[in-house]
Amino acid sequence: MAKFTKMHVYPAEGGETIHIPAATVQGERPGPHAVITAGIHGGEYPPVAAAIQLYKQLDPAQVSGTVTIITVSNVSAFEHRSMFVTPVDGKNPNRCFPGREDGSYTERMVYYLFRDFISKGDLHIDAHCGDLIESLAPFAEYSWGVDPEVDRKSKEIAVYYGLPNVVGELCDLTKEYAGLNYENSARHGIPSALVEAGQHGQLEQDAVEIHLAGMKNVLRHFGVLDGEAWENDGYELFQGVTAVEAPVPGIFYCQVKPGDYLKKGQSIGRLEDYFGTALGEVFAPADGKVLYITDNPAMIQDGFILDLATKEKI
Ligand SMILES: [Zn+2]
């Protein structure tokens, strides 16, 4: 069997089950093992559609090595249209890696994703987009500082995906565990990058095409797929991202959008209460470029407003 799919089923707490749909393409020649995870978050559809298309389009005669594609990594969140978190336990899987076999639903799910799929790879792509209430400027992010060879390949995955913004973030090894999927892979010696294109819970065909082209280009660059990879010579490189959060709950009137360059101290927007009384203004904490944004006015205390990519690590 050179191409096959399987729905893997695992037990979870309280009699729940975890479903992990894996599509595998075994090439006719030996080569690296690439693993792609899509759908870690519930409302991110273009990477899911691109992952399915990739499986359909890959011809084993043109593949060297193996491509394992997890088309919907978080089936529970997908089926419930749940933003950011898995509904069963309210946890964000992209804060739980490498997970725990005896943990809660999400901790077990990421444990199995890593143990049975990602850890078997020589390279890993974690494909995302803006969730239901997010918009973004397409970007890739990788973590470095664990091993020079892994760092180099992780950056190549990020760059060859072909997106206009690339963030290379120094891994904080004082943290006990990674949490983030791509950082966890790098910590375990598997080159990896997070890639983001698409937004608002829409199945935009443009974003599907961006992901499909990026996946194929990375596979070509690493010799998994026949053909010449194209160079991404138009990207902007950043050293870190800084989150901006709402200091108080309220209605947020945002004045910026993804891709905007902000100056430190520039106004991002204002918060008002439910009678229109000003509660405060939110300012950029540094010079940087708006990568992605919550473009929804309902804000809780410490609610996420936007991520700012910065040239210097902050
Ligand atoms: Zn995501």
- Give the chain's mean pLDDT: 96
pLDDT band at 212 (very low <50, low <70, confident <90, very high): very high
Find the 112 Cα to ligand 1 centroid distance in Å. 18
Q: How many CB atoms lie within 10 A of CB 79?
A: 12
Tell me the two tokens of residue 159.
Answer: 């760059």
Find the 225 Cα to ligand 1 centroid distance in Å. 26
For β-strands 165-170 and 236-238, DSSP reports them as parallel
Find the 38 Cα to ligand 1 centroid distance in Å. 9
- Residues 76-88, mean pLDDT to the nearest whole number: 96
pLDDT band at 129 (very low <50, low <70, confident <90, very high): very high
Domains contained in the chain, CATH given: 3-236 (3.40.630.10), 239-310 (2.40.50.100)
DSSP letters for the chain: --EEEEEEEEE-GGG-EEEEEEEEEE-SEEEEEEEEEE-SSTT-HHHHHHHHHHHHH--GGGBEEEEEEES-S-HHHHHTT-SSSBTTTTB-GGGTBT--TTS-HHHHHHHHHHHHTGGG-SEEEEEE---TTEEE--EEEEEESS-HHHHHHHHHHHHHTT-SEEEEEE--TTSSS-BSHHHHHHHTT--EEEEE---TT---HHHHHHHHHHHHHHHHHTTSBSSPPPP--S-EEESEEEEEE-SS-EEEEE---TT-EE-TT-EEEEEE-TTS-EEEEEE-SSSEEEEEEE--SEE-TT-EEEEEEESS--
Q: What confidence tens digit (pLDDT) does each residue in 95-126 have?
A: 999 999 999 999 999 999 999 999 999 999 99
Give the C-alpha separation, 79 to 294, whole Å.
Answer: 22
Find the 83 Cα to ligand 1 centroid distance in Å. 9
Quote the pLDDT of residue 291: 97
Q: What confidence tens digit (pLDDT) does each residue in 17-60 have?
A: 999 999 999 999 999 999 999 999 999 999 999 999 999 999 99
Q: Give Cβ neighbours of residue 293 (< 8 Å, ≥ 6 apart).
A: 134, 135, 136, 254, 256, 257, 258, 305, 306, 307
Q: Give Cβ neighbours of residue 1 (< 8 Å, ≥ 6 apart).
A: 26
Find the 213 Cα to ligand 1 centroid distance in Å. 19
pLDDT > 90 fraction of the chain, expressed in percent and rounded = 96
Find the 266 Cα to ligand 1 centroid distance in Å. 27
Find the 208 Cα to ligand 1 centroid distance in Å. 15
Question: Is 73 within 8 Å of 93 (Cβ atoms)?
Answer: yes
Find the 130 Cα to ligand 1 centroid distance in Å. 6
Degrees to nearest 5, angle at CA 71 with 66 and 74 = 130
Quote the pLDDT of residue 314: 66
Find the 84 Cα to ligand 1 centroid distance in Å. 7
For β-strands 29-38 and 123-128, DSSP reports them as parallel
Find the 127 Cα to ligand 1 centroid distance in Å. 8
For β-strands 278-283 and 267-272, DSSP reports them as antiparallel
Dihedrals phi, psi of 9, to nearest 5 degrees? -125, 130
Q: What confidence tens digit (pLDDT) does each residue in 222-268 have?
A: 999 999 999 999 999 999 999 999 999 999 999 999 999 999 999 99
Find the 290 Cα to ligand 1 centroid distance in Å. 17
